[in-house]
């Protein structure tokens, strides 16, 4: 059974279509189990970085790698990740163009300029009780 969160559903029904890398187009279908597996895995990775390493940076490549391990294409993994902004993570998207400023990200979207990483907002995680006073659990 194919399923996509409503934000991923396009007028084409079963396809996920969007641009997440400055014009790079992707089209795929995500089943519910794969979607859930990716969201759980990316949340675990983010929290591990924050709690264990005190690291608030995650690259697009690392996000895509988590998606591939969950059974998603790299393009779909980035789309799903961006749709989780504001519920699973929040922070600043770092554009590929070194001269461009970071883009604050606190709500879901799939329409963004080419990007290479995210710097997570520790205050956002703190407000949601995701880590202890020391920044690590």
pLDDT tens for 74-125 read 999 999 999 999 999 999 999 999 889 999 999 998 789 999 999 999 999 9
- 137 contacts: CB under 8 Å, gap ≥ 6: 51, 131
Domain ranges of the chain: 6-127
- Does the CA dihedral 32-113-47-57 come out positive or negative? positive
Percent of the chain with pLDDT over 90: 66
| Phi-psi group of 37: left, alpha or beta (phi > 0 → left; psi -120 to 50 → alpha; rest → beta) | alpha
Structure confidence by residue, pLDDT tens digits, 46-84: 999 999 999 999 999 999 999 999 999 999 999 999 999
CA gap 47, 45 in Å, rounded? 6
Q: Chain-wide mean pLDDT for the chain?
A: 81
């Amino acid at each position: 059974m194919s399923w996509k969160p409503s934000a991923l559903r396009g007028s084409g029904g079963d396809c996920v279509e969007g641009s997440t890398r400055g014009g790079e187009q992707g089209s795929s279908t995500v089943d519910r189990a794969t979607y859930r597996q990716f969201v759980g895995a990316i949340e675990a990775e983010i929290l591990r970085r924050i709690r264990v390493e005190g690291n608030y940076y995650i690259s697009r490549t690392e996000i895509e790698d988590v998606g591939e391990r969950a059974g998603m294409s790299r393009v779909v993994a980035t789309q799903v990740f961006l749709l989780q902004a504001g519920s699973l993570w929040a922070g600043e998207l770092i554009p590929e163009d070194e001269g461009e400023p970071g883009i604050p990200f606190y709500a879901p979207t799939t329409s963004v300029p080419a990007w290479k990483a995210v710097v997570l907002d520790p205050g956002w995680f703190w407000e949601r009780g995701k880590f202890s006073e020391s920044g690590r659990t």
